[in-house]
Structure 1
Amino acid sequence: MSLETEIAALVAANNKLIDYFSGKKTAIDAAVSAAIAAAPSMVRAYWVDQQLGDDANGLGTEASPFKTLQQAINATPDGGRVQAWLSKDYVLDKHINLAGRRLVVAGVAGSGRRLTINEFMPEGETLLRMGSFWASNDSTVQLVNVTVSLPASSAGDLSAYYGLVFASGSSAPIMLQLRMYNCAFELRGTFRGKLFGPGSVLFALSMIGTAVPSALNGSLIPGVAAGTLSKDVGHVITNLSSL
């Protein structure tokens, strides 16, 4: 066999190998693209209208909103992030179970949305709690462009879980996190609860464009007295100079 023939055979074999590789690569790329397209998005945005929304048949769009924040969370994959836009003011009078989701509750800038926190009594218990966000696993809470209206606390003993964000049990996050951006507080009387309830040994509190009323001093972190300098508290990360 001549050298030219051998070279031609090698070139042909090489071309077959290249064609085979290219075909496999195309198939692999197509399979990866299909898998990515089929995977659920971990980031969701839904509209919530407590008056006109529908948890059973709503789509979570502005035209077809959900009724509750809980439904917006339930419609988000575990570990995902959900931005819940409030079509109207919202009354929070129960625990919202975050179940590992990262929740953002937002009002459109300038809309004056209000998140009204009310007291409630859980079935089978004897101590009052307040509407709150129950964190677990990697849950976080952000409030954006809303006025948080805190209740006038009832007389007598209150539950240890009388706080805006709390956790409990083996699924409690290592750190409880709350971020408030361009928010305001409204106090409807003497508030005896906390922004953070129990459930974690670490706390992260961020207040951006949000003034904390002096009446809330000592009501931010469990076990931290009013006027305590943040730099003196090792288990709290915050941009506030004092608590």
Structure 2
Amino acid sequence: MSLTGDISNLVGRADALITAFEQKEAGIEQQVQAAIAAVPENTRILYLNQQTGNDSNNGVAADRPLRSLEKIYELTGAGRAVEVRNLADYTFPTRRCYVPLNSTTYFRSWNGLHQLNLGIHQLEDGAQETWDWEVGGFYSRTFGTASILIYETKIAFPTAPPNGTLSPVQYSSLWAANEGSSPTMRTLKIAGCEIERPIDGVGAILGAVNSGAALAVTGCVYDASAMAGNWISTISAGTRPADVETVLCNLTSL
């Protein structure tokens, strides 16, 4: 075989090796990307729009928002953080929106100031509780920790129900918890918000804090007289946070 033929043969083999490598490289890259996609994100950004959203959407873009916080928490799961970018006024559709264990929620208005309505909800048939109504809100039902941070949102409390009995205030709160097995520690920060609680309004900010809670309120607008005694359930108006051993709070009085 001539030298020219040998060189041509070697070039052909080299080309074949390069092609084989490129094919395997593409397969390896696909497997790597699939493995990366399978790893859960520790922090997610999801869009919420109760008016136009759909819980069949993935929620990752403003034009594909989800409709409910319940679906957002289902997608987030325990032990992770989620930033909820709320695109419209939102009313809790049921009395309790269950917060995942050991999770962090960043809830903020997006593209304008939007309202978070707690609402007043009649108990469903077959409920074990003995009361008739409950204020809607976030709810933690088991031991663990959780954090909720609410930014640039108008928080609106409902007025008293027209008839029947309202639940104990520890269950009628922006963030309530199981009185018997409440989380080890809950942290709630409300920043840059408007808090609207009518004189005949019902509900508190934090409920059931027998295990411990931290509450920070910064840059908010609210009626101090309407909120007195309604920051934390069962704690009387005028109480200093320093006198409550289960609570850390930056307010001068509760």
Q: What is residue 62 of structure 1 aligned with on the other side?
A: 62
User: 1:104-134, CA deviations, whole angstroms, 9 ceiling, x for partnerless residues?
Assistant: 211137x121111210022134421111101
Q: What is residue 252 of structure 2 aligned with on the other side?
A: 241
Distance, in Å, in 1 between the alignment partners of 2:123 and 2:134 is: 7
In the TM superposition, residue 190 of structure 1 has moved relative to its aligned partner by 1.2
* Secondary structure of residue in 1 paired with 2:105: strand
* TM score, norm. by length of structure 2: 0.75
Instruction: List aligned pairs for 1:5-154, cutoff 5 A.
Output: 38-55=38-55, 57-60=56-59, 61-94=61-94, 95-100=96-101, 101-108=103-110, 111-123=112-124, 124-125=126-127, 126-135=131-140, 136=142, 137-154=144-161
User: 1:147-185, CA deviations, whole angstroms, 9 ceiling, x for partnerless residues?
Assistant: 001111226531121111111177631123211010011
Residue ranges of structure 2 left out of the alignment (5+ in a row): 1-30
Whether the 8 Å CA contact 2:54–2:67 is kept in 1: the answer is yes
Distance, in Å, in 2 between the alignment partners of 1:32 and 1:224 is: 54
Q: 1:36 to 1:130 in 2, by over 3 A?
A: same
* Secondary structure of residue in 2 paired with 1:66: coil
Say if 2:158 is the partner of 1:159. Answer: no
Q: What is residue 8 of structure 1 aligned with on the other side?
A: none
| Higher deviation after alignment, 190-199 or 72-81 | 190-199
Residue ranges of structure 1 left out of the alignment (5+ in a row): 1-30
Whether the 8 Å CA contact 1:166–1:176 is kept in 2: the answer is no
The residue type paired with residue 120 of structure 2 is E
Distance, in Å, in 2 between the alignment partners of 1:36 and 1:200 is: 41
Say if 2:239 is the partner of 1:228. Answer: yes
Q: 1:171 to 1:187 in 2, by over 3 A?
A: closer
User: 1:195-225, CA deviations, whole angstroms, 9 ceiling, x for partnerless residues?
Assistant: 1122642121100111442211011112211
Distance, in Å, in 2 between the alignment partners of 1:138 and 1:117 is: 22
The residue type paired with residue 113 of structure 1 is H
Residue of 170, 192, 200 corresponding to 1:190:
200
Distance, in Å, in 1 between the alignment partners of 2:235 and 2:209 is: 15
| Higher deviation after alignment, 205-214 or 32-41 | 32-41
Whether the 8 Å CA contact 2:197–2:227 is kept in 1: the answer is no
Moved beyond 6 Å, runs of 4+: 31-37
* TM score, norm. by length of structure 1: 0.78
Q: 1:64 to 1:35 in 2, by over 3 A?
A: closer
Whether the 8 Å CA contact 1:42–1:77 is kept in 2: the answer is no
Residue of 186, 191, 203 corresponding to 1:181:
191
In the TM superposition, residue 65 of structure 1 has moved relative to its aligned partner by 0.7
User: 1:51-82, CA deviations, whole angstroms, 9 ceiling, x for partnerless residues?
Assistant: 11111x20102111101111111111321011
* Secondary structure of residue in 1 paired with 2:220: coil
Q: 1:199 to 1:35 in 2, by over 3 A?
A: farther
The residue type paired with residue 145 of structure 1 is E
Q: What is residue 21 of structure 2 aligned with on the other side?
A: none
Whether the 8 Å CA contact 2:209–2:247 is kept in 1: the answer is no
Whether the 8 Å CA contact 1:176–1:204 is kept in 2: the answer is yes
Measured on the aligned residues, the alpha-carbon RMSD in Å equals 2.4
Whether the 8 Å CA contact 1:145–1:181 is kept in 2: the answer is yes
* Secondary structure of residue in 2 paired with 1:75: helix
Whether the 8 Å CA contact 2:158–2:197 is kept in 1: the answer is yes
